[in-house]
Structure 1
């Protein structure tokens, strides 16, 4: 388990702890994880890429394997960068690192 970065919204008691490192939630749940974190744009992009990868698997056997491999790589990428995206989104909303 990695360390946590605490972000605070100025003028409010709201503090959010964002873990560092790999995000299993982002890896396994994808766009639903992003929706739960109120990361609307990231959720839309993740859903779009997931739909494109799913549709690529409908074109034939070779495309099915390629779509599966790309889907797994996309999930791993979401897990690697998910917590960074969450922190970036909070910082764009005005949160500052404590």
Structure 2
């Protein structure tokens, strides 16, 4: 089971739970996951990296294999750091950890 960190927005009854650990949503869905969390800058960066990796794969069979490996590594990195990015984004918006 993953633990959760609860954040509260001062002045409202709004509470958000952010999971800790690996984010399967960020790993599998990438920039779509970031858009669903309203993390605009992260979504833009993730999309740009995905486009660069896709274009790098168009160079031929060696580029295709390297692009696949880099895409998997990038997905793993997004999964590892995704929940931390979400937590920081919410804190920048004014949410405080309970």
TM superposition score category, shorter chain reference: over 0.9
* Inter-partner Cα distance in structure 1 for 2:89 and 2:45: 14
Mapping of residues 1-98 of structure 1, within 5 Å: 1-98=1-98
Q: Provide the C-alpha distance between the structure 2 equivalents of 1:51 and 1:7, rounded to a whole number of angstroms.
A: 33
Structure 2's unaligned 5+ residue stretches are none
The alignment of Structure 1 onto Structure 2 pairs a total of residues equal to 98
Q: Distance in 2 between matches of 1:17 and 1:55?
A: 36
Compute the RMSD of aligned alpha carbons: 0.5
Work out the CA distance in 1 between the residues paired with 2:75 and 2:47: 12
- TM-score, normalised with respect to structure 1: 0.99
Q: Normalising by structure 2, report the TM-score.
A: 0.99
